[in-house]
A and B are shown apart, each in its own frame.
Chain A
């Protein structure tokens, strides 16, 4: 049961935050409000009238708009086409010929009215994430909404863009619209919300005001006292394990993603790469792991050239890799937990050789890891797809950390993971560091980077803008993440 008898009320002109950790049931609730899912019990009242939403059409008709966490935009369409979709202006009667001129006009009008600049003729796939989000918001607003739902909108924004978005939400609320803002980020909730409803495990556990402290909110979210800090001792860095010089990598579209990067990661330290997604971190990590060819530059693991090695060889040389999207390429959902735990080692003793597998060794390994890493599963033979997000991630972590490592690369290691598992994984990463492994953590969650890293490299548009200490004030790191170095701070405030 994802939603267990939830009650929630939203007033006009209010910004109402729905706070809960990953998997708590927030999106499920909102999907019912938007007609994408049907409730089993209960009712929805809009302005006192009971409504049934069988499809998004009904929700739209009732004045409800939604901006989803993963954008609902067709990449190959223009902005105007995307916004008009479903409510196109047509002429020519039954033929339904699109009136693109009118569509453009309407888009520009709405965009100006709410202060959300967008270009109607741009192709969505060429737009940066912040712009795409503006398109989504205009798409909702153009349909005359009274209630706007925003699902985890700040996940992909820089701190600056987040502030802009919060400003937009405030001004929309001032025009009388209601905003429901789904998130798990305490800082934002306190900054913008008029009221906060906390959801845990599918139930409402209380309403709070923005004055409530972050610790109290976190405790409400998780149900117990939570330490938001990572406990770790001082680092004792040793030799240079990973050395990257002048790395240049291009993405699938032929665009330069990594534009000349130098990196050092030492044994026994955590280097954190901070930066919003889409600034080349993905391509950087893929290049190091041999999943993407580098255009120029060198990468060395203990003075061994990485560029010439296949991914298999790299993994076998003592490199652990936690990919950023576990459902894409971290686990094989249809395989069992035991099989996933040896996904990159099945053809090496003791789990097997080039010809055959060793089922007993695989099963023994599974039993050990499940206990060691506290993987909640009914059996090691269950398909990994039946596990929760946090436990799936623990499978990936267990797999990589159960062999001797020289270098560990963790990309977005706790994305979409519940708080208990987040704590566990963070501790494992620190543990690995203390064992003398060099650790590279890439994360767009600034808190995570600040908590885990001994040094932070801020990445923007394929370059490392600066390498700083975690003690630096958040605002300054935020500026760096937005590409604003000390030199052009003045220009930025134009």
Chain B
């Protein structure tokens, strides 16, 4: 079995040769020029303010996953910079989102991360709001002039739409509908059956850089051999890079194969990381006879057969490549999703409320539980021992402040350490701006789209209620 190419012939860009127009196919070429942006975008308060004027209020942001709000009254709070939103499942099954702000004095109405409720009571003066945002009760209402409260000021609603088990909000009343704005090809997210996954781990750590420094790091695999050398035995860093509309992008990374840079001593020179991936696919290493050229393909075959045996119908929508590889998917502006057949990582690069030199790295791991002894969370996902992956328990968010080393696994820690140094260097008088190469095309594509908003190339929408700061 096995048809992996000779790793010695690898060249960038990786081209899987999938049909153009298919989900796996290469996107049409995009010319984003060779501009070198001023590095102040990474640290100046002026640029941060511009983002809050022209970018954040106008784009669709991932606010929640439906797995967290399955029943009426289930809610979760989404924090983004200085803004917070309550996302609530309604009695009719729809989902609404509101600014987490009491209409009386501005207090945060909800001060927990998530839960289930019949109503929300502000902790300041106990004004009560329904899950649909209506103002249910004003304590001592007779002491308020009707001119102030006669219009029954409820929670301020924001637009909320759902796609493939992911809930998005948009502060701009005039933004295009989510599906129209979504840069990913139709059916891309849906193929992974995210609705049937459970959120099994949620971490949020404060990193010492601008949110865009974080995005830049995760939007390319060029740094892999240098920052994450331990991955070289099991992941190829030359990716297929696809640039989609509206700043979206994707890189397909081959898993289960040695990097083309990695030495191969002999044909059975299997890396420990590859062995882990073979085992994750249900392959018995004691009897496995494949060579270094077979591993990725054998992982695909084993997972395909296992899915058939277990009746995992969504695998029929996934290509063989999706069973082994990482489809590392960027949702403009601040999300990257590591998409895998067993589960997905939704990584949000959340701007700090006040400090352009900080952001929050928010990582939600969703996993589709299959009750079978031959099926488990892939070991490379670095799940700590003892975590319930059945979906019975929705874990609390694990939080780390900027000066604590977050418990996010050895690979992500390397990124955490890296970005602080990059952020400091970017601010040096000696740095003239980033020089992005072809392997960093997604980074350039992302910044080009940021600039379209900041420079007003996208006509500003009319402000609507609740969209102003």
Partners in one complex: no
Q: Interface residues, chain B, CB within 8 Å of chain A? A: none
